[in-house]
């Protein structure tokens, strides 16, 4: 069976491809090898799939349904593996092959077409926040996860390089917020890193489980910040979007015992960073939405 990547994945990875990056070209062969190594039966490639990985629906030798996920090296699959192993199914999808070393991830099968985003907005935020809280645990003492300081440092450098006259004031505000946020002592936890409603899927052993982490170690407000702007297109379309956003910041901060101003600051930084990055790769509509949202903060 040909395990070809969906067009959505090809397009997304093409936006950020670098010279010498041949992961996509080698992906069908790598997928076949991962399937053979684990003695899996392939059902189908998940389509349209995500923007950063190939997801294949498979069955184990005992006919248990599972998912095989292949991630490019630049997306740090071993970091994802380490985080999932540490969570051990608590709040997150369960890793079925923790000792594998080929870069592929064998995961329990969730209902990939049902995320909390399918729920009414208030209920979706409640369920997503509850799932996120379970992930905020002490990191392993010998961990090699990237820190919030390290990740946002790289992002800040890229933002400075791309900041033209139009977005410069927002970039300056975001960078200033980051400096202030990193200056204080905070609670340090293992974070999902890229959490949003679509990253919480329906499961069988528990109702909702997180998938697709890009783990990082730092303060919980950083993780929660991405959730604040979920359904940003609906917020922008609403005449009261700015006030809804401020209420959302307050409600999420209170429900998860996070400092409201720190959450606002990280929400600003992450929205501007995402908006500037979207502009850099030509996703102008996404950039416009994100930067307008950031202006409300």
20 part of a folded domain: yes
**Would you state the structure tokens that stand for residue 22, as one six-digit string?**
């041949």
pLDDT of amino acid 207: 96
Q: Are residues 133 and 251 in the same domain?
A: yes
Phi, psi of 210, rounded to the nearest 5 degrees: -80, 145
Confidence of residue 48 (pLDDT cuts 50, 70, 90): confident
Enclosing domain of residue 59: 7-109
Mean pLDDT of 191-201: 96
For residues 229 and 126, membership in a common domain is answered with: yes
pLDDT at residue 117 above 80?
A: yes
* Mean pLDDT of the region 275-297: 93
Query: What confidence tier does 92 reach under pLDDT thresholds 50, 70, 90?
Result: very high
Domain count, the chain: 2
Residue 257 lies in a domain: yes
Question: Mean pLDDT throughout 5-34?
Answer: 80
Q: Examine residue 177 and state whether it is found in any structural domain, yes or no.
A: yes
The DSSP result for 93-156, as a single string, is PPBS-TT--SSEEEEE--EEEEEGGGS-HHHHHHHHHHHHHHH-BPPPTT--PPBHHHHHHHHH
2 is a domain residue: no
Q: What is the DSSP letter of 198?
A: G
pLDDT digits (tens, 9 = 90+) for 61-90: 999 999 999 988 888 889 999 999 999 999
Q: Confidence band (pLDDT; 50, 70, 90) for 3? A: confident
- Tell me if 97 is assigned to some domain: yes
| Higher-confidence position of 20 and 32 | 32
Per DSSP, 59 falls in state: E
CATH number for the domain including 237?
A: 3.90.1200.10
- On whether both 174 and 227 belong to a single domain, the answer is yes
**What end-to-end distance do the CA atoms of the chain give, in Å?**
50
pLDDT, position 1:
56
Per-residue pLDDT, averaged over 154-178, amounts to 92
Query: Would you place residue 284 in the very low, low, confident or very high pLDDT band (cuts 50, 70, 90)?
Result: very high
Average pLDDT for 120-130: 93
- Is residue 28 within 8 A of residue 6, CB to CB? The reply is no
So what's the pLDDT on residue 47?
A: 85
User: Is residue 251 scored above 60 in pLDDT?
Assistant: yes
- Asked whether residue 18 carries a pLDDT value surpassing 80, the answer given is no
Say if residue 17's pLDDT is above 80: no
CATH code, domain with 78? 3.30.200.20
For CA atoms 255, 258, 261, 264, the dihedral sign is negative
pLDDT > 90 fraction of the chain, expressed in percent and rounded: 76
Mean pLDDT of the 225-241 span:
94
Looking at the structure, tell me whether residues 136 and 264 fall in a common domain.
Answer: yes
From 67, 83, 109, the end of a domain falls on 109
Q: Does a structural domain hold residue 277?
A: yes
pLDDT of residue 19: 53
Give the H/E segment covering residue 42. strand 41-45
Would you say residue 20 has pLDDT above 60?
A: no
User: Rounded to an integer, what distance in angstroms lies between the CA atom of residue 237 and that of residue 228?
Assistant: 16
More confident residue, 84 or 11: 84
Are 149 and 270 contained in the same domain? yes
> Are 20 and 125 in a shared domain?
no
Please state the pTM of the whole predicted model: 0.93
22 and 95 assigned to the same domain:
yes
257 membership: H or E segment, kind and range: none
Specify if 57 maps to a domain: yes
Selected residue with higher pLDDT from 52 and 117: 117
What's the rounded mean pLDDT across residues 46-65?
89
| Adjacency order of strands within the sheet including 104-108 | 41-45, 54-59, 65-70, 104-108
pLDDT of residue 13: 78
Cis peptide leading into 130, omega within 30 of 0? Answer: no
């Amino acid at each position: 069976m040909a395990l070809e990547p969906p067009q959505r994945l090809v397009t997304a990875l093409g936006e950020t491809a670098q010279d010498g990056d041949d992961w996509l070209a080698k992906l069908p062969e790598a997928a076949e090898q991962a399937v053979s190594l684990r003695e899996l039966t392939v059902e189908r490639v998940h389509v349209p799939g995500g923007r950063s990985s190939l997801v294949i629906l498979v069955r184990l030798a005992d006919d248990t349904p599972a998912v095989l996920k292949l991630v490019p090296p630049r997306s740090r699959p071993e970091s994802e593996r380490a985080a999932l192993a540490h969570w051990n199914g608590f709040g997150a999808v369960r890793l079925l092959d923790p000792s594998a070393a080929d870069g592929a991830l064998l995961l329990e099968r969730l209902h990939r077409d049902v995320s909390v985003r399918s729920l009414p907005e208030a209920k979706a935020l409640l369920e997503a926040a509850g799932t996120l809280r379970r992930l905020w645990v002490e990191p392993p003492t010998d961990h090699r996860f990237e820190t919030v300081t390290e990740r946002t440092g790289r992002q800040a450098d890229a933002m400075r390089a791309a900041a033209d006259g139009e977005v410069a004031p927002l970039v300056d505000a975001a960078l200033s917020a980051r400096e202030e946020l990193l200056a204080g002592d905070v609670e340090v936890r293992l974070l999902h890193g890229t959490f949003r409603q679509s990253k919480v899927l329906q499961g069988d052993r528990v109702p909702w489980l997180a998938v697709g982490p890009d783990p990082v170690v730092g303060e919980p407000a950083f993780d929660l910040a991405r959730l604040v702007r979920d359904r940003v297109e609906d917020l922008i379309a609403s005449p009261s979007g700015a006030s809804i956003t401020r209420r959302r910041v307050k409600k999420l901060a209170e429900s998860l015992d996070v400092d409201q101003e720190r959450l606002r600051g990280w929400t600003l930084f992450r929205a501007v960073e995402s908006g500037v990055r979207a502009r850099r790769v030509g996703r102008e509509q996404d950039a416009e939405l994100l930067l307008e949202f950031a202006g409300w903060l």
